[in-house]
Structure 1
Amino acid sequence: MGIRVGVPGIDAVVRSIRTTVLSPFRPQTYLNLLYLALAFPLGVAYFVVLTVGFSFGLSLLILVIGAPILLVVLLATHALAAFERAMARYLLSVEIDSPGYPFLEREGVVDRLRSLLLGRETYASVCFLLSKFVVGIASFVLLTTLLTTAAAMVLTPLFYDSPNVSVGFITDGEPVFLTPSLQLPWDGLLVGVEVAVTLTEWEVTTLPEALATSIVGVLFLAVSLAICNVVARILGQFSRLMLGQSVPGPIADPTDRIGR
Structure 2
Amino acid sequence: MTAEGAFTPDSDIDRIFGPVVHPQTYRHLLYTSLSFPLGLIYFLAMVVGLSVGFGLTIVVIGLVILAVTLVLARIFGHLEREMAKSLLGATFDDAPPRPRGWHALFRDRNTWRAVIYLILRLPVGIAGLVASLLMIVAVPLMAAPLLYVILPFTIDGARVANWDEALLVSLFGCVFFLVAAHAVNGVAAIARRLAMALL
TM-score (structure 1 length as normaliser):
0.64
| Aligned counterpart in structure 2 of residue 54 of structure 1, from 46, 50, 53 | 50
1:231 alignment partner in structure 2: 187
**How big is the shift at 1:138?**
1.5
Question: Deviation of residue 46 (structure 1)?
Answer: 0.6
Shift of 1:68: 1.6
Counterpart position of 1:258: none
Q: Is the 8 A contact 1:156 1:211 kept in 2?
A: yes
Which structure carries more relative contact order (alpha carbon 8 Å, separation 6+)? 2
TM-superposition CA deviations, 1:197-232 (whole Å, max 9, x none): xxxxx9854311211321332233133213312321
Separation in 1, partners of 2:76, 2:155: 44
Q: Which residue of the partner structure matches residue 110 of structure 2?
A: 121
The count of residues paired between Structure 1 and Structure 2 equals 194
The change in CA–CA distance for 1:211 and 1:228 in structure 2 (over 3 A counts) is same
> Structure 2 regions of 5+ residues with no counterpart?
2-9
Amino acid at match of 2:198: M
Which one has the bigger strand percentage? Answer: 1
1-side partners of 2:11 and 2:186: how far apart? 14
Tell whether the 8 Å contact from 1:94 to 1:240 is kept in structure 2 after alignment. Answer: yes
1:103 match: secondary structure: coil
Match of 1:21 among 17, 23, 29: 17
Matches within 5 A, 1:206-245: 206-243=162-199
* Residue in 2 that maps onto 1:140: 129
CA RMSD of aligned residues (A): 3.1
Structure 1 runs of 4+ aligned residues shifted over 4 Å read 160-163, 202-205
Identical-pair percentage: 33
For structure 1, which runs of at least 5 residues remain unmatched after alignment? Answer: 5-13, 171-201, 244-260
Normalised by the length of structure 2, the TM-score is 0.82
Structure 1 residues 85, 69: CA separation in 2 closer, same or farther (over 3 Å shift)? same
Q: Match for 1:218: what amino acid?
A: C
1:1-260 equivalent positions in 2, closer than 5 A: 15-104=11-100, 109=101, 113=103, 115-148=104-137, 150-157=138-145, 158-159=147-148, 166-167=154-155, 204-243=160-199
